[in-house]
Chain A
């Protein structure tokens, strides 16, 4: 079902309940709008869709830069609250080289531990050296480029690839 993208003008506000309220070209207000990235990994900024609480697309945004300051701010804020993909900076230690293995890692959001259930949970990204690691609790950790990690982390990582 290919529908033409909805690209008219719209406005966004935040209500007291902390939800985003969307008013589109037709003037109807939708509460509880969520912004979603269409290509969260390969092109995070290239396409963003505003979804209603019934999971209907309300608005397609080609690029955030084209938006007025207020809308851009609200969307970026909402995306930031929704997205949680800590980026691994260093792998401090692993409990074992056989899975399941508990990794002590340092991320851009602080130090934490993750459980790697199986090597299959490490997914190679299209970008060279990029890895996405799904931990046992469903969190995703990202390594931007494993070649940029320090030697110790790389040595550990290599045992799992």
Chain B
């Protein structure tokens, strides 16, 4: 990077000429101007100054470049310690480049101030996550995963991936289809000799040849029976295969879904996901087993019929086939309209399901606020939307089928006219015309059913697209291609310059924290200060936007997710119990735990006694959310669950804030058993619950503002002191507080 020719395409002449000895070090392409209009410009950094096309600022020791972002717009501000010199804006897509620019600037300025040469840049590192980039790769394997290429339109073909294991059966099915179709084409062919050699001679006074009739009629029967047997075998085999493909598809989708990060679930509605895995896979299934099969048969039938017709009489065949292109064109025309319509219906349908999925779990809130009427209205509106979309589609659809019917009738009419004319001119026999009419009725019947395939194909394609939307979604916490084996954990965690952004909101801005093995850290701060986010990052539910988290010197992103999570025990504010027995719930993280282990964990969690009070002890069933247990009891079960896996790292996210003081005391002593000898990170609303913490980390708006133990922080009389005083003041002001603290928990939950 020594001359302006290293600048990106189109920018070589954008800068004024450089001074002698001036070296271009970095540049940033901006895409917004000062009035926030989309306009590109360039700002560049040399070893002497910062410059744009029109202005430049020297690199003085007091110069300071500083970066902020808000609502999707990033901003770099340059000041000299006293006043603002310049401000540049860009959309967040360029944020990594901007941060790189800022780092380069700081390095240059510091080296100018100290007179030392700038420190050599560290071996190529990713501009986003700052991880070193492996020598054999160009992009950072962790960051080059944003999926911006759309799936192909021929989504249905991608189902082949699921069909492949059943290749053999599919081939058998195809051959059977071929044979069955051929068999059904025999009877009309036999009508020809029946007409020309038996019936018409009889009308002309010849007696009926009974042996010939017997042969022809038994031929008809034989063909029918043959077609029946083949058809049965083919339908059975192919239905078997398609059912298996559908099941594989469903399982694969669900398995993939489970691997996706919390970020994905945060942005999706439960109802929509339920609909995709349930209804859509079923629709694809029906399509494969019924419609696709019919379609294949139809194609074969039409091709074979056409061949037969041409061998009998090419001219009549030609006339018979005339309506075919017209129908083809009609199908094509309607197709686009139908496809978009069906996609729309799917989305509207998901909307309807979503209303249900939103309301039913929250039914207590709905009833408590007497909002049944509003929810009903919401459902009615979603339903109305559904009707509107369906009505629009049905207008097209309802016209389509009768039109195909009409064209069929016209086609038959044309064959009659031309056939009679040919007979009149002695070009064909009556038998040939009869055979043609018999064929053509089948032929058009197939065309009609083929036109139906349009809608089902489109429906299935729309369904497949929505399934593949899930399958194509790369987890935002992907497992590395070559995961590093995790060394035995001692429990230390090193958090280095961690940033995290959710949507366009920066939640964590540069967190640095070194957690020693066995240490207990208390995270303190207002809600929204980023405590839970930090914990989620440590669990690797999300990946950091910038910076890195290391355990035993290994970056979290380079180890297999499941490997790492094995070592983490998590106790949440709202403990989730799965449907099953208490023992199963405790052993959730370690299904092969012995009964003795389960009981020991429950004892340590102070849960043993109340579990024994349940009708079936450890085998008592608990509902979806453990309805029959109290909050404190559920919490202790979840503590036992965490204890059982004997984690090296323990995370307590507001573990005691949902229960009363007395229960809290019980839980607290249970927790003390849990904490012993483990690295613990605890978030607590009540500061008193953190008195055992070795260090308290006070967070405020995504940054760490204070670190120290209770006494040190109190002596400092700053953030922590204020939080603490506010709480003890509230304690004096009971009962007003009880209400408010309760409210707050409700909101957080």
- Taking a contact as CB atoms under 8 Å apart, the answer to whether A16 and B83 are in contact is yes
Q: Quote the shortest CB–CB distance from A24 to chain B (angstroms).
A: 20
Binds A, one of B18-26, B32-40, B292-300, B553-561: B32-40
Task: Pick the residue among B91, B149, B153 that contacts A139 (CB under 8 A).
Answer: B91
Contact residues, B270-300 vs A (CB, 8 A): 272
> What 1/0 flags go to A74-104 for Cβ under 8 Å of B?
0000001111111000000001111111100
- Taking a contact as CB atoms under 8 Å apart, the answer to whether B38 and A112 are in contact is yes
- Of all chain A residues, which has the CB nearest B272? A120
On chain B, the residues within 8 Å of A136 by CB distance are 93, 146, 148
Q: How far is the CA of A134 from the CA of B504 in the complex (A)?
A: 9
Contact residues, B65-91 vs A (CB, 8 A): 70-73, 77, 79, 82-84, 87, 91
- Knowing A110-B39, A139-B72 are in contact, say whether A1-B150 is a contact too (CB < 8 A): no
Asked if B402 lies at the interface with its beta carbon under 8 angstroms from chain A, I say no
- Taking a contact as CB atoms under 8 Å apart, the answer to whether B149 and A161 are in contact is no
Q: Quote the shortest CB–CB distance from A38 to chain B (angstroms).
A: 15
Task: Pick the residue among B153, B272, B347 that contacts A98 (CB under 8 A).
Answer: B153
Asked if A27 lies at the interface with its beta carbon under 8 angstroms from chain B, I say no
- Taking a contact as CB atoms under 8 Å apart, the answer to whether B71 and A84 are in contact is yes
Asked if A152 lies at the interface with its beta carbon under 8 angstroms from chain B, I say no
- Taking a contact as CB atoms under 8 Å apart, the answer to whether A137 and B148 are in contact is no
Task: Pick the residue among A16, A81, A96 that contacts B36 (CB under 8 A).
Answer: A81
Task: Pick the residue among A80, A100, A137, A158 that contacts B72 (CB under 8 A).
Answer: A137
On chain B, the residues within 8 Å of A97 by CB distance are 340
- Taking a contact as CB atoms under 8 Å apart, the answer to whether A137 and B91 are in contact is yes
Asked if A118 lies at the interface with its beta carbon under 8 angstroms from chain B, I say yes
Q: How far is the CA of A99 from the CA of B155 in the complex (A)?
A: 13
- Taking a contact as CB atoms under 8 Å apart, the answer to whether A18 and B38 are in contact is no
- Of all chain B residues, which has the CB nearest A81? B36
- What's the tally of chain A residues with a CB closer than 8 Å to chain B? 40
- Taking a contact as CB atoms under 8 Å apart, the answer to whether B268 and A120 are in contact is yes
Asked if A62 lies at the interface with its beta carbon under 8 angstroms from chain B, I say no
Asked if A138 lies at the interface with its beta carbon under 8 angstroms from chain B, I say yes
Asked if A48 lies at the interface with its beta carbon under 8 angstroms from chain B, I say no
- Of all chain B residues, which has the CB nearest A101? B150
- Knowing A18-B77, A98-B150, A139-B504 are in contact, say whether A109-B38 is a contact too (CB < 8 A): yes
Q: How far is the CA of A161 from the CA of B465 in the complex (A)?
A: 15
Q: How far is the CA of A110 from the CA of B31 in the complex (A)?
A: 11
- Taking a contact as CB atoms under 8 Å apart, the answer to whether B72 and A118 are in contact is no
Asked if A143 lies at the interface with its beta carbon under 8 angstroms from chain B, I say no
Q: How far is the CA of A86 from the CA of B150 in the complex (A)?
A: 24
Q: Quote the shortest CB–CB distance from A45 to chain B (angstroms).
A: 18
Contact residues, B369-394 vs A (CB, 8 A): none
Residue among A95, A98, A118, A161 with most chain B CB within 10 A: A98
Asked if B740 lies at the interface with its beta carbon under 8 angstroms from chain A, I say yes
Asked if B97 lies at the interface with its beta carbon under 8 angstroms from chain A, I say no
- Taking a contact as CB atoms under 8 Å apart, the answer to whether B150 and A138 are in contact is no
Asked if B469 lies at the interface with its beta carbon under 8 angstroms from chain A, I say yes
On chain A, the residues within 8 Å of B701 by CB distance are 55
Asked if B501 lies at the interface with its beta carbon under 8 angstroms from chain A, I say yes
- Taking a contact as CB atoms under 8 Å apart, the answer to whether A137 and B93 are in contact is yes
Asked if A4 lies at the interface with its beta carbon under 8 angstroms from chain B, I say no
> What 1/0 flags go to A124-161 for Cβ under 8 Å of B?
00000000001111111000000000000000001101
Q: How far is the CA of A112 from the CA of B505 in the complex (A)?
A: 22
Asked if B673 lies at the interface with its beta carbon under 8 angstroms from chain A, I say no
On chain A, the residues within 8 Å of B16 by CB distance are none
Asked if B615 lies at the interface with its beta carbon under 8 angstroms from chain A, I say no
Asked if B58 lies at the interface with its beta carbon under 8 angstroms from chain A, I say no
- Taking a contact as CB atoms under 8 Å apart, the answer to whether A120 and B267 are in contact is yes
- Taking a contact as CB atoms under 8 Å apart, the answer to whether B465 and A138 are in contact is no
> What 1/0 flags go to B706-749 for Cβ under 8 Å of A?
00000000000000000000000000000000001000000000
On chain B, the residues within 8 Å of A55 by CB distance are 701
Q: Quote the shortest CB–CB distance from B95 to chain A (angstroms).
A: 8
On chain A, the residues within 8 Å of B72 by CB distance are 84, 135, 137-140
On chain B, the residues within 8 Å of A85 by CB distance are 71
Asked if B261 lies at the interface with its beta carbon under 8 angstroms from chain A, I say no
Q: How far is the CA of A7 from the CA of B701 in the complex (A)?
A: 26
Q: How far is the CA of A161 from the CA of B345 in the complex (A)?
A: 10
- Taking a contact as CB atoms under 8 Å apart, the answer to whether B465 and A84 are in contact is no
On chain B, the residues within 8 Å of A120 by CB distance are 267-269, 272
- Taking a contact as CB atoms under 8 Å apart, the answer to whether B38 and A107 are in contact is yes
> What 1/0 flags go to A46-69 for Cβ under 8 Å of B?
000000001100000000000000
Q: How far is the CA of A134 from the CA of B502 in the complex (A)?
A: 12
On chain B, the residues within 8 Å of A84 by CB distance are 32, 36, 71-73
Residue among B149, B150, B151, B344 with most chain A CB within 10 A: B150
- Taking a contact as CB atoms under 8 Å apart, the answer to whether A134 and B38 are in contact is no
On chain B, the residues within 8 Å of A20 by CB distance are none
- Taking a contact as CB atoms under 8 Å apart, the answer to whether A83 and B150 are in contact is no
- Taking a contact as CB atoms under 8 Å apart, the answer to whether A161 and B38 are in contact is no
Q: How far is the CA of A82 from the CA of B340 in the complex (A)?
A: 38
- Taking a contact as CB atoms under 8 Å apart, the answer to whether A161 and B77 are in contact is no
- Taking a contact as CB atoms under 8 Å apart, the answer to whether B150 and A100 are in contact is yes
On chain A, the residues within 8 Å of B149 by CB distance are 100
- Knowing A137-B91, A139-B91 are in contact, say whether A109-B36 is a contact too (CB < 8 A): yes
Contact residues, B127-163 vs A (CB, 8 A): 146-151, 153, 155
On chain B, the residues within 8 Å of A111 by CB distance are 38
On chain B, the residues within 8 Å of A139 by CB distance are 71-73, 91-92, 504
Q: How far is the CA of A80 from the CA of B267 in the complex (A)?
A: 29
- Taking a contact as CB atoms under 8 Å apart, the answer to whether B150 and A110 are in contact is no
Asked if A43 lies at the interface with its beta carbon under 8 angstroms from chain B, I say no
On chain B, the residues within 8 Å of A134 by CB distance are 503
Q: Quote the shortest CB–CB distance from B165 to chain A (angstroms).
A: 26
- Taking a contact as CB atoms under 8 Å apart, the answer to whether B71 and A17 are in contact is no
Q: How far is the CA of A37 from the CA of B146 in the complex (A)?
A: 32
Q: How far is the CA of A139 from the CA of B32 in the complex (A)?
A: 12
Q: How far is the CA of A134 from the CA of B92 in the complex (A)?
A: 13
Asked if B343 lies at the interface with its beta carbon under 8 angstroms from chain A, I say yes
- Knowing A96-B150, A102-B148, A107-B38 are in contact, say whether A138-B469 is a contact too (CB < 8 A): no
Known interface pairs A137-B504, A138-B505; 20 further A-B residue pairs with C-beta atoms within 8 A, sorted by A's residue number: A16-B82, A16-B84, A17-B79, A17-B84, A18-B87, A84-B71, A84-B72, A98-B151, A99-B150, A100-B148, A102-B148, A110-B37, A110-B39, A111-B38, A119-B347, A135-B72, A138-B72, A139-B504, A140-B504, A159-B343
**A interface vs B, CB < 8 Å?**
1, 16-18, 54-55, 80-86, 95-102, 107, 109-112, 115, 118-120, 134-140, 158-159, 161
12 A-B contacts (beta carbon < 8 Å): A1-B740, A84-B36, A98-B150, A100-B148, A100-B150, A110-B38, A111-B38, A120-B272, A138-B72, A140-B71, A140-B72, A159-B343
